[in-house]
Amino acid sequence: DQDYLDLGANNLTGAIPIEIWNLTKLVHLDLYKFNELTGTLPPEIGDLTDLRYLRLRSCGLSGSIPSEVGNLINLIDLRLGFNGLTGSIPPTIGDLSNLANIELDDNNLSGIIPDEICNLDGIEFNTGWIQNNQLCPPYPSCIEDTVGEQDTTNCD
DSSP code string of 13-64: EEEPPGGGGG-TT--EEE--SS-EEES---GGGGG-TT--EEE-TTS--EE-
What average pLDDT does this structure show over 97-126?
Answer: 95
Q: What angle is formed at CA 22 by the lines to CA 123 and CA 93, rounded to 5 degrees?
A: 25
43-100: pLDDT as tens digits: 999 999 999 999 999 888 999 999 999 999 999 999 999 999 999 999 999 999 999 9
Pick from 117, 114, 118, 110: which is nearest to 136 by CA? 110
Average pLDDT value over all residues in the chain: 92
